[in-house]
């Protein structure tokens, strides 16, 4: 794939980052997530895939409570997500999220996008926040765009800014919700490279994506979901070469079959 992918990702520690037990969620009458059990250890890189409507986005959006679950338990880095707003704020400041449509703030420059949350949530002095922001903009390789507005950047650049914006909060866990689905083919690689580098640095990552090359390069676990349930979990090699469930086989044949 890429040079970055050649170095093996660091080994996984034993500590628990996210613990989900018996979690259920409904949209009205519709049972979107059914009895989800999932343990993510620190440094793990998990790719979640599955057909559309299978609940994979909803699952990771529950981890920073953009969606509320109705039963079961979600513990993120030792903090349980309940209706207690303090816990929610604590989790959100430690979990970064990258969206399909970037969701940059169009009225702020790239640099301001990156310094906003550190300044207002972490109360970091402005100078220091700007230094951190420039550090991460270097890391995603667009420091020269710092004073432009998001609307002046290409999709791939915007997504890399979004990644830098999340990293500026120094998150312990990163969630990626189809980060390359809205990008032109030419720009997918630059975003994936950034994510692969992040994985090599040992970040705990949960990615909803259909980029199977990415999954094989960095993931140490692939989770396949269908109809709101976890249907199969395995190492990427096993999952792609030797899927066990019929649903996974069908899904793989559909996305890899042409």
Partner 1 sequence: MSEIHAETVAFARDTMMPPAPPPRRETGAVRWMRENLFSGPLNIILTILAAWLLWLALRDLLPWAWRGIWQAGSASECRAIRDQLYGEGVPAACWAVVRARWRQLLFGFYPADGLWRPLLALGLFLVAVLPVLFSGAPRRLLWLSAAAPFVIVWLLWGGSLWGPVAAALGFVVGWAIWAAVARRGNAGLALLLGLGAALAWWFLLARPVAAGLASVAPLALVPVESRAFGGFTLSLVIGLAGICLSLPLGVLLALARRSELFFISKVAVAYIEVIRGVPLIVWLLVAQVVLNYFLPRGTNFDILLRVIIMVTLFSSAYIAEVIRGGLAALPSGQYEAADALGLGYWQATRLIVLPQALKISIPGIVNSFIGLFKDTTLVSIISLFDPMRISSTIRATTEWGGIYWELYVFVALVFFAFCFAMSRYSIWLERRLERSHR
Which residues of the chain form contacts with partner 1 (CB under 8 A)?
64, 66, 89, 92-93, 95-97, 99, 101-107, 116-117, 120-121, 149-152, 165-166, 169
Give me the count of residues in the chain: 258
For partner 1, the closer CB: 97 or 199: 97
Q: Are 228 and 55 in contact (CB under 8 A)?
A: yes
For partner 1, the closer CB: 95 or 142: 95
Nearest approach, Cβ of 164 to partner 1 (angstroms)?
12
Q: Are 102 and 155 in contact (CB under 8 A)?
A: yes
CA–CA gap between residue 11 and residue 225 (Å, rounded): 25
For partner 1, the closer CB: 10 or 106: 106
Nearest approach, Cβ of 246 to partner 1 (angstroms)?
35
Nearest approach, Cβ of 217 to partner 1 (angstroms)?
26
Nearest-5° Cα angle at 182, 212 to 27: 90
Nearest approach, Cβ of 118 to partner 1 (angstroms)?
9
For partner 1, the closer CB: 103 or 227: 103
Nearest approach, Cβ of 90 to partner 1 (angstroms)?
8
For partner 1, the closer CB: 36 or 91: 91
Other C-beta atoms within 10 Å of 13: how many?
A: 13
Q: Who contacts 23 (Cβ-Cβ below 8 Å, separation ≥6)?
A: 33, 35, 36, 37, 62, 69, 71, 72, 73, 74
């Amino acid at each position: 794939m890429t040079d970055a992918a050649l170095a093996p990702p660091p080994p996984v520690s034993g500590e628990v980052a996210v613990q989900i037990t018996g979690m259920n969620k409904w949209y009205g009458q519709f049972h979107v997530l059914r009895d989800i059990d999932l343990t993510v250890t620190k440094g793990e890189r998990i790719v979640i895939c599955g057909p559309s409507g299978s609940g994979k986005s909803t699952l990771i959006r529950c981890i920073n409570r953009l969606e509320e679950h109705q039963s079961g338990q979600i513990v993120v880095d030792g903090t349980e997500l309940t209706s207690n707003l303090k816990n929610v704020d604590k989790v959100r400041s430690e979990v970064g999220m990258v969206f399909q449509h970037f969701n940059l703030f169009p009225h702020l420059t790239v640099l301001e996008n990156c310094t906003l949350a550190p300044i207002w949530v972490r109360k970091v002095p402005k100078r220091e926040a700007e230094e951190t922001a420039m550090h991460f903009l270097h890391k995603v390789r667009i420091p020269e765009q710092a004073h432009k507005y998001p609307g002046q950047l290409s999709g791939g650049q915007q997504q890399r800014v979004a990644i830098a914006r999340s990293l500026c909060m120094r998150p312990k866990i990163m969630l990626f919700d189809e980060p390359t689905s809205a990008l032109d083919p030419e720009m997918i690689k630059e975003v994936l490279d950034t994510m692969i580098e992040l994985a090599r640095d040992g970040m705990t990552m949960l990615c909803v994506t259909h980029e199977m090359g990415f999954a094989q390069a960095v993931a140490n676990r692939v989770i396949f979901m269908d109809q709101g349930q976890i249907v199969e979990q395995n190492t990427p090699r096993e999952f792609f070469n030797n899927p066990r469930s019929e649903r996974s086989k069908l899904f793989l044949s559909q996305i890899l079959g042409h």
